[in-house]
A and B are shown apart, each in its own frame.
Chain A
Amino acid sequence: MNSVILQIASKYIKGLLLIFAVLALFRGHNYPGGGFIGGLMAGLALLYDSFAFQAFQVKERLGSKPERYIAGGLAAVLLSFLPSVVGGKELMTGMWISIPLPVGEPFKLGTPFLFDTGVFFIVIGVTLVFVFSLTQKDKWK
């Protein structure tokens, strides 16, 4: 599709969607949100972009293959298992560290967040694979 309105609009909407995606990722665990929803939103941003432009342009701008996102996400998920193994707990036990902030409540960072981040990147990668494989005629894999 070659519409100037869509292309200009996609610039802003993409940014907005990505911000909300990260917001949803950080909100997760205790409130509605999390890695999967965030990842879908981020994937949607890129999907929107590939509607406005061509899918291969988006792919070029992305710089790395979607498989890398999946690999990185899986690695993050794997990394989130490590603290529970090292700490001698059951596998996949949630472990938290508290980072005191100058103002307000301390910021709590835990393995579930790392897991969620992994899911976030996996979902982005998978969405991109979906989009690229369904829109690119010659490079079906």
Chain B
Amino acid sequence: MNALVAFPILLPFVLIIVLLIFRTVRIAGYIALAGTFLLLMLSFVLFWMVRQQGVVVLQMGGWEAPFGITLVVDYLSALMLVVAAVILLSLAVYAPRFLPGEISITRFFQLFFALAMGLNGAFITGDVFNLFVWFEVMLMSSFVLITMGRTKDQLEGGIKYLALNLVGSMFFLAGAGLLYAKTGTLNMAHLAIILRDDCQAITMNTTAILFFMAFGIKAALFPLYFWLPASYHTPNIVISSLFAGLLTKVGVYAFIRFFTLFFVQDPRFWHPLLLIIAGLTMVAGGMAAAAHYETRRILSYHIISQIGYMIMGLGIFTPLAIAGSVFFTLHNMIAKTNTFLVSGMINKARGTFELKEVGGLFRQSPLMAVLFIIPAFALAGVPPLSGFFAKFILIKAGIENGNFVITSVAVITSMLTLYSMIKIWNEAFMKVQPANEYASRSFRKPSFGEYFPSLFLGGISLLMGVFAVYLFDYTLEAANQLLNPDLYIETVWKGGTGK
């Protein structure tokens, strides 16, 4: 049964092979649809297993814990896997309808599954170097995806994206090297055993700061985020939405994993640093989003602003705050992807992403307006949608723990988020269409296949809000597992080969 743990990696692997062999464009979409659906089912099964067993472990090749590669699924991994699979499924529906003709759908889906493989691998693995490898798998496929359309902008954005992410990878690898030099292991559970009890472990801060830089670049934190707004608006909207929902969140996941499991020796240094960075990230992203007038750029800056909230929970470091972080990450993955999907629909209807050039969409397609308002209000934090509860938990945790500065920053940034969402709403949907070359385009109502992914994700946002209690229980469980990793360590360490 435990062999199922490896299947979120193996399934995309099989699909890549299938798509390399059967290159017909017509069936590629169906293969991808079936594959992502299977992936979702698989994630649910893993989640169910986690509910039964607490932590599920697979030792690859039968090598015991510190020697082989360990795959571990706990609540955090399982929740991330489920939400990632939901997004992949909705994009598998969305992609064939929105990719331009010059991008081969088969090729796109090959890379799509390579990205999914890296993503799932990063969520599952229990080994620092293996995490690096999965990060690279993800990065390599994203490099190709971002330059796929081969326009000038995409190549330019690709160079910037490549440059900063490469530096991030170097930091990661150097950190892994130093970690191995100091502790002699790269297994996360073993590291936790060594570092949690060691009072000398404060000297690990030099190593930890390398990982901080690496994950900070991947997650787009305040001084390191500049690759994101320079590149995310260049590729096709399908690829933008794929990146927006998934890539930066893996950085956040790695942050949560590392800074709760073994870099916990020096909270007096790390927690204020994380809080300061989180606050600056929120404000910088939020203000830049308020200043822009192009949907994709606004939404790209928004990604940055929201990363701040996820790190804020990690900086407060109470069970409630970590639960808030996890809740926020899950909510944000869904809602953020959804806003990108809707902006793709706006672009398809009008032919531009510039807000000043479009308008009057509410009159022509009220459905599209509703589809936009759900994720937009979810991001801004309007009840009863998912974002309200995510922010509510974080702010409650902040006040309870006495972190008033960061809490007020979070509340003010919420206003900025609301402002920029209302800006898109006013400009694209309410305003009368300005008389320009885009006005004469014949409007075609989105077909069912085009709006279904957005409806699906919007429905999930709504359900996450309405049934927030249940989700909150799970995220609180995840937070408890993260803050008391005894079960994690014990299952990896003493569970031996798992069977």
Using CB atoms and an 8 Å cutoff, list the residues of chain A in contact with chain B.
67-68, 70-71, 74-75, 78, 81, 84-85, 89-94
Interface contact A75-B17, CB-CB below 8 Å: yes
Chain A min CB distance to B5 (Å): 9
Known A-B contacts: A71-B20, A74-B16, A78-B17. Give 16 more (CB < 8 A): A68-B20, A70-B20, A71-B17, A71-B21, A74-B17, A78-B14, A85-B3, A90-B3, A90-B58, A90-B59, A90-B60, A90-B499, A91-B60, A92-B60, A93-B61, A93-B62
Chain A min CB distance to B125 (Å): 14
Interface residues as binary, B18-37 with A (CB distance below 8 Å gives 1, 0 otherwise): 00110000000000000000
Using CB atoms and an 8 Å cutoff, list the residues of chain B in contact with chain A.
3, 6, 10, 13-14, 16-17, 20-21, 58-62, 497-499
Q: Chain A residues near B6 (CB, 8 Å)?
A: 91
User: In the bound complex, how far is the Cα of B58 from the Cα of A92, in angstroms?
Assistant: 11
**Interface on chain A toward B: helix, strand, loop, or mixed SS?**
helix
User: In the bound complex, how far is the Cα of B6 from the Cα of A89, in angstroms?
Assistant: 13
Q: Chain B residues near A94 (CB, 8 Å)?
A: 61
Name 22 interchain pairs, CB-CB below 8 A, sorted by A: A70-B20, A71-B17, A71-B20, A71-B21, A74-B13, A74-B17, A78-B13, A78-B14, A78-B17, A81-B10, A84-B61, A85-B3, A89-B62, A90-B58, A90-B60, A91-B3, A91-B58, A91-B60, A92-B60, A92-B61, A93-B62, A94-B61
Interface contact B62-A74, CB-CB below 8 Å: no
Chain B min CB distance to A51 (Å): 26
* CB-based nearest B residue for A81: B10
Q: Chain A residues near B498 (CB, 8 Å)?
A: 90
Q: Chain B residues near A91 (CB, 8 Å)?
A: 3, 6, 58, 60-61
User: In the bound complex, how far is the Cα of B266 from the Cα of A136, in angstroms?
Assistant: 54
Chain A min CB distance to B221 (Å): 33
Q: Chain A residues near B499 (CB, 8 Å)?
A: 90
Interface contact A90-B497, CB-CB below 8 Å: yes
Per CB-CB distance, the 8 closest pairs between chain A and chain B, nearest first, are A71-B20, A90-B62, A92-B61, A93-B62, A74-B17, A92-B60, A91-B6, A93-B61
With A90-B497, A91-B3 known as contacts, the answer to whether A74 contacts B60 (CB < 8 A) is no
Chain B min CB distance to A85 (Å): 7
